[in-house]
Amino acid sequence: MDRGTGPAVLVTGGAGYIGAHTAKALHGRGYRPVVFDDLTSGFREAVQWGPLVEGDIRDADALAETIKTHDIQAVIHFAGLIEVGRSVAKPDLFWEVNVSGTTALLTVMREHGVGQLVFSSSAAVYGQGARGPLETIAETADKAPASPYGDTKLAAEWLIQAQCRAYGLTAVALRYFNAAGADPSGLIGEAHEPETHLIPLAIAAALGDGPPLTIFGQDFETPDGTCLRDYIHVSDLAAAHVAALEAGLAPGAFEAVNVGTGQGRSVAEVVEAVGRAVGCAVPHSLGARRAGDPPSLVADPRRAQEVLGWTPQHSSLDTIVADALRWERKPCYGSGVRGPKGRRKSQIAV
Ligand code: UDP
């Protein structure tokens, strides 16, 4: 397949962090990504590998028009609200966008004969449950979301699975662990506003572009007392979406698959890795636990290998941090942890 001449794939939310990396991966495999995004949290500048259609995921007419105009053959669905804290304050909004938006998309797909979907789900569907702090999480683990955000991801999975049974849709829900890093090209990367994630905040602190990092809790039941997470390079995540499209599942099949490495890394280890990459210790203080943070979230990644033939290739902690650092030093869009668009204190000549 030549680059960009293969089947057209609708990427809802394709101007966001994982969506933009997936559009690039699709293009690299010869697909034609068509991004559908309302740009409320995504960036126009992140859409570089195909057309952008500006629209709201709940707008069935706009979705239908896009599917017809671009001859869409499959959909990768990222569009939705993602901030866990905000979901606690505004659960109705999260249900409206994440669940009603998915319903609108599924209806339009059925009406237009688009039979393949990859859905952006989350490890937030699991919650801590009765799991020990060092246990990995298999897909069959109890579902006990700790936030309305997690509730909406699980509800959307149920809706999708029901459509597979009822109408023969083929779908894969990818349950992400901690997406991190940036494309090695430096063209796209992580740009959340406000930024709340550990790696960009630790880098900003080390570069002097942000306040000292606060480590949330050091009294967890983990080897060094700080939280364990499973950090997965965003380019590996993007590759998992392409693998899900190409998994060759039968019509009507539904699979929910973890996307992680199986390796837990502690907050203290991440802070050390950032210090090594930047060449100076990360200024930090020790703070209280953040509400709702489970001690550990680490994937059992075996099913992704079985179903998708996918394993991570770029997810060593040092590679993730090096790629994140390249982006944070020179972001192409987003206002960053602090300061005006695309400019960091560490970039401003003195
Ligand atoms: N974390 C921290 N300080 C921060 C941000 C995050 O100690 O300023 C910790 C957080 O408690 C969690 C880990 O870093 O244990 C990863 O948090 P992040 O927000 O990046 O992702 P999450 O696991 O919440 O999806």
Q: For 97-146, what is each residue's pLDDT tens digit?
A: 999 999 999 999 999 999 999 999 999 999 777 777 789 999 999 998 98
What pLDDT does 139 receive?
97
213 lines ligand 1 (CB under 6 A): yes
Residue type, 25: A
The terminus-to-terminus CA distance of the chain in angstroms comes to 49
3-state secondary structure the chain: CCCCCCCEEEEECCCCHHHHHHHHHHHHCCCEEEEEECCCCCCHHHCCCCCEEECCCCCHHHHHHHHHHHCEEEEEECCCCCCHHHHHHCHHHHHHHHHHHHHHHHHHHHHCCCCEEEEEEEHHHCCCCCCCCCCCECCCCCCCCCCHHHHHHHHHHHHHHHHHHHHCCEEEEEEECEEECCCCCCCCCCCCCCCCCHHHHHHHHHHCCCCCEEEECCCCCCCCCCCEECEEEHHHHHHHHHHHHCCCCCCCCEEEEEECCCCCEEHHHHHHHHHHHHCCCCCEEEECCCCCCCCEECECCHHHHHHHCCCCCCCCHHHHHHHHHHHHHCCCCCCCCCCCCCCCHHHCCC
Answer yes or no: is the C-beta of 216 below 6 A from any ligand 1 atom: yes
Residue 338 has pLDDT above 90, yes or no: no
Q: Is 308 in the pocket of ligand 1 (CB under 6 A)?
A: no
Do residues 251 and 115 make contact, with C-beta atoms less than 8 angstroms apart?
A: yes
Specify the pLDDT at position 146. Answer: 85
Sketch the domain layout of the chain as residue ranges: 8-180+231-259
Q: Does residue 348 have a pLDDT over 80?
A: no
CA atoms within 13 A on the CB side of 277: 28
Q: Which atom of ligand 1 is nearest to the CA of 293?
A: 11
70 Cβ closer than 6 Å to some ligand 1 atom? no
338 vs 293, which has greater pLDDT?
Answer: 293
* Ligand 1 atom index nearest CA of 270: 14
What pLDDT is stored for residue 339 in this prediction? 45
Which of 17, 31, 126, 149 is labelled catalytic?
A: 149
Q: How far is CA 15 from each of CA 31, 52, 91, 242, 333, rounded to the nearest angstrom?
A: 17, 8, 24, 17, 11
Whether the pLDDT of residue 343 is over 60: the answer is no
The pLDDT, as a whole number, for residue 235 is 98
- Percent of the chain at pLDDT > 90 equals 85
Residue 168 has pLDDT above 80, yes or no: yes
Confidence (pLDDT) at 336: 58
Which residues have a Cβ under 8 Å from the Cβ of 280 and sit 6 or more positions away?
Answer: 206
Please report, for residues 13, 73, 274, the alpha-carbon distance to residue 42 in angstroms, rounded to integers and kept in the order given. 7, 23, 26
Give pLDDT, residue 11: 99
Are the C-beta atoms of residues 19 and 77 closer than 8 Å to each other?
Answer: no
CB 207 within 8 A of CB 282: no
Q: How far is CA 40 from the centre of its chain?
A: 16
- Whose tokens are 């001690």? That residue is 295
Whole-prediction pTM value? 0.95
> For 238-284, how does the pLDDT look when each residue is reduced to its tens digit (9 = 90+)?
999 999 999 999 999 999 999 999 999 999 999 999 999 999 999 99
Which pLDDT tens digit goes with each residue over 15-66?
A: 999 999 999 999 999 999 999 999 999 999 999 999 999 999 999 999 999 9
Average pLDDT, the chain: 93
Measured distance CA(323)–CA(287) in Å, rounded: 27
CA of 3 relative to ligand 1 center, distance in Å: 37
Would you say the CB of residue 83 lies under 6 angstroms from ligand 1? no
- C-alpha span between 33 and 46 (Å, rounded): 13
Q: Which two tokens stand for residue 165?
A: 């049974």
Q: Which residues are CB-contacts of 119 (< 8 A; sequence separation ≥ 6)?
A: 77, 102, 156, 157, 160, 171, 172, 173, 174
Residue 2 has pLDDT above 90, yes or no: no
- 149 carries an active-site annotation: yes
Distance from C-alpha of 289 to C-alpha of 309, rounded to nearest angstrom: 37
pLDDT category, 153, cuts 50, 70, 90?
Answer: very high
With tokens 């059992």, the residue in question is 300
Percentage above 70 pLDDT, the chain: 94
Whole-number pLDDT of residue 193: 85
Class of CATH domain 8-180+231-259: alpha beta
Question: Atom of ligand 1 at shortest distance to CA of 213?
Answer: 8
Tell how far the Cα of 93 is from the centroid of ligand 1, in angstroms.
24
